[in-house]
């Protein structure tokens, strides 16, 4: 949607950037009575942090999960996974990819959160979690908190579909906003985006059960397509190269 980039407080007259804060609350006096001023621009992204505080706190809990057969599995992994799933969902709901008319990157924090949503949901509902899965969950949480994501080589086979589905959903959402942002794109980029959309649909139909290399290729293609939309002439060819690995 198009919004005015600056807000003016009716109580104290202070001005601030809505594109930066995502809030109508005055940072000076706290009043929520403000008006938009300035030029309207496309804006879908809201100021959001991936808050994993509850996840880290839950890792300190050692209550045994009710119903655990051997009594050795700590309730902390269940609590942490549930908290992580909710934190990831909350973050993803607030995020978009256009800020003040500018197309943002498909960044690692978003990708990590998209994956964490499914990894956490899977582990929260399991009656047993392997040491490798628990270690990867911790690695993913740590990476996401730092705005990074674990290397594809670290993903356990049992959680490969969680990364696949998370990345496919992320690329689907990014592709949609990219198409709307770059309405005047050339034929080459339109073809790339159409092909990317077809691959995303296939991965989602498989519930993410594809190789981690394929998940990475989707991300690479989306990022190259964004570069092309911003004017990088090599972007279309790089996106095609990434997609060719999926054919």
User: Closest Cα to residue 107, out of 22, 181, 155, 50?
Assistant: 50
In the chain, pLDDT over 70 holds for what percent of residues? 91
pLDDT one-digit tens code per residue, 47-66: 789 999 888 777 764 432 33
Does residue 14 register a pLDDT over 50?
yes
For residue 74, name the pLDDT band (cuts at 50, 70, 90): very low
Which residue has better confidence, 246 or 92?
A: 92
pLDDT of residue 68: 41
User: What percentage of the chain has pLDDT greater than the value 90?
Assistant: 63
Q: What is d(CA 146, CA 8) in angstroms, rounded to the nearest whole number?
A: 33
- CB 97 within 8 Å of CB 174: yes
* Sign of torsion over alpha carbons 137, 139, 145, 148: negative
List pLDDT tens digits, range 186-201: 789 999 999 999 999 9
Q: What is the pLDDT of residue 1?
A: 61
Quote the pLDDT of residue 140: 96
Query: What is residue 221's predicted lDDT score, i.e. its pLDDT?
Result: 98
Please report, for the chain, the start and end positions of each structural domain, with discontinuous segments joined by +.
2-42, 53-244
Q: Write out the two tokens for 84.
A: 């992580």
CA R_g for the chain: 21
Helix 187-205 and helix 235-244, axial crossing angle in degrees, nearest 10? 30
Produce one character per residue of 34-61: b if its CB has 16 or more CB atoms within 10 Å, e if not. beeeeeebbbbbeebebebeebeebbee
Mean pLDDT of 100-121: 96
- Exposure string over 142-164, b if 16+ CB within 10 A, otherwise e: ebbbeeebbeeebbbeebbbbbb
């Amino acid at each position: 949607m198009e919004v005015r980039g600056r807000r003016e407080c009716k109580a104290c007259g202070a001005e601030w950037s809505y594109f930066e804060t995502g809030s109508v609350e005055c940072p000076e006096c706290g009043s929520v009575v403000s008006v938009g001023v300035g030029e309207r621009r496309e804006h879908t992204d809201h100021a959001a942090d991936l808050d994993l505080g509850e996840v880290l706190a839950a890792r300190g809990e050692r209550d045994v999960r009710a119903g655990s057969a051997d009594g050795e599995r700590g309730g902390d992994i269940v609590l942490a996974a549930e908290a992580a799933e909710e934190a990831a969902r909350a973050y993803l709901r607030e995020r978009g990819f256009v800020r003040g008319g500018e197309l943002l990157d498909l960044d690692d924090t978003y990708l990590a959160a998209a994956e964490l949503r499914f990894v956490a949901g899977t582990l929260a509902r399991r009656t047993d979690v392997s040491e490798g899965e628990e270690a990867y969950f911790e690695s993913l949480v740590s990476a996401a908190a730092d705005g990074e994501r674990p290397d594809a080589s670290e993903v356990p086979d049992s959680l490969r579909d969680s990364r696949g589905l998370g990345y496919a959903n992320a690329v689907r959402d990014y592709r949609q906003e990219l198409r709307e942002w770059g309405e005047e794109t050339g034929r080459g980029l339109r073809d790339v985006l159409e092909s990317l959309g077809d691959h995303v649909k296939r991965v989602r139909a498989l519930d993410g059960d594809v190789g981690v290399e394929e998940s990475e290729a989707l991300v690479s293609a989306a990022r190259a397509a964004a570069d092309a939309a911003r004017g990088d002439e090599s972007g279309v060819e790089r996106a095609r190269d990434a997609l060719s690995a999926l054919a």
